Structure 1
Amino acid sequence: MQDIHPEVVQAFGNRVRVRVCGILIEKDSILLVNHRGLNKSNLFWCPPGGGIQFGESAAESLQREFREETGLEIDVLDFLCVNEYSSQALQAVELFFLVRRTGGHIATGTDPELKQQIIREVKFMTIQEIRNYLPAEVHNLFSYCSTLADIYQLKGNFLTKNA
């Protein structure tokens, strides 16, 4: 718990959070967001996404999160898989969807729920670039994939990560 920024724990901790995450693959790269304050290395790359707000559908939430975090407009294409994450302070059930870019320009966005911003950077990365990071510095999803094409093979799977 000491590795997670206190504001993150206050905003999202000690409850189960339902999140939506978007897989946007273009050419040979996947769009990822770099967050600080989520682990010891203060570096964490994951697909864009965030919590579902009351009254929103999963697709509406994911479209909002993409706008906030990346500046992009998307269409939600297909449900992919579920990832369950659990640590001492954070617990989330993450619904992953395949998405397609429809507009906007990539920009490093913000997380409106936090005063101190944790989003550092947004960029497309190849699987080789992702492999240059320690497993704790990238989303658990990548522990199941040797190639980006392997992500499509996760369809219907239930992934689990306990920190």
Structure 2
Amino acid sequence: MLPSVNLTKRSAMSEYPRVAVRAILIHENKLLLVNAYANGQSALMCPPGGGVEAGSSLPENLCREVFEETGLRIEVGAPCLVNEFHDPGGSFHQVDIYFRCSVIGSAEIDSNWQDTDRIVTDRRWVTAEELANVHHKPDSLGAVAFDPQNAITYDPLEPLVR
């Protein structure tokens, strides 16, 4: 069930949400996660991906982002999750579109790989059991990632966490 909408609510949010793409990348029953908080600001892990650049398709953006963050080449499949989050006291609102993906070539993560912005500080493959003990977002990640039979899921607006 979708949440009800308050049409009279005014917000300090920016005019448009930021759109991002993320990869649900399973290899040998493990999900790839990254930490994109420089200087240890947070232990929060999430699937690799990032902001959409105009003029490129969502899959093109996702291939670029995953390569930048991990050095891996991927094939992008069907969308499987739409998640949105915001800073209730600020102006940030992001909509993430998650796609099922597969690795092209080797799935080995080079420990010396540096993303272009030097923001990603950790890259790791985790099992479903390990994911339960990792600080991650979105909350529905495990159910979506490890159950490929799930239809596309909408994860309602949630507050930003670090």
Fold conserved (TM > 0.5)?
yes
Q: Aligned AA for 1:30?
A: L
Q: How many residue pairs end up in the alignment?
A: 141
Tell me which residue corresponds to 2:54: 54
Query: Is the CA contact (8 Å cut-off) linking 1:111 and 1:119 kept in structure 2?
Result: no
CA distance in 2, matches of 1:124, 1:144: 13
Q: Aligned AA for 1:81?
A: L
TM-score (norm 2): 0.75
Residue 111 of structure 1, CA deviation: 4.8
CA distance in 2, matches of 1:152, 1:162: 28
Deviations along 1:87-138, one digit per CA (max 9) or x if unpaired, are 13431111110001013552344253xxxx33111110112222113xxx30
CA distance in 2, matches of 1:148, 1:98: 8
Q: Compared with structure 1, are the counterparts of its residues 118 and 81 closer, same or farther at alpha carbon in structure 2 (3 Å cutoff)?
A: same
Unaligned ranges ≥5, structure 1: 1-12
**Sequence identity, in percent?**
29
CA distance in 2, matches of 1:109, 1:95: 24
Query: Is the CA contact (8 Å cut-off) linking 2:131 and 2:142 kept in structure 1?
Result: no
Tell me which residue corresponds to 1:157: 153
Q: 2:103 aligns with which of 85, 101, 104?
A: 101
Unaligned ranges ≥5, structure 2: 1-12
Q: Aligned AA for 2:103?
A: R
Tell me which residue corresponds to 1:77: 77
Tell me which residue corresponds to 1:19: 20
Query: Is the CA contact (8 Å cut-off) linking 1:29 and 1:148 kept in structure 2?
Result: no
Tell me which residue corresponds to 1:123: 124
| Structure having greater relative contact order (Cα 8 Å, sep ≥ 6) | 2
- Secondary structure of the residue that 2:105 maps to in structure 1? strand
Structure number with greater Rg is 2
Q: Aligned AA for 1:98?
A: R
- Secondary structure of the residue that 1:106 maps to in structure 2? coil
Q: What pairs with 1:130-149 in structure 2 (closer than 5 Å)?
A: 130-133=131-134, 137-142=135-140, 145=143, 148-149=145-146
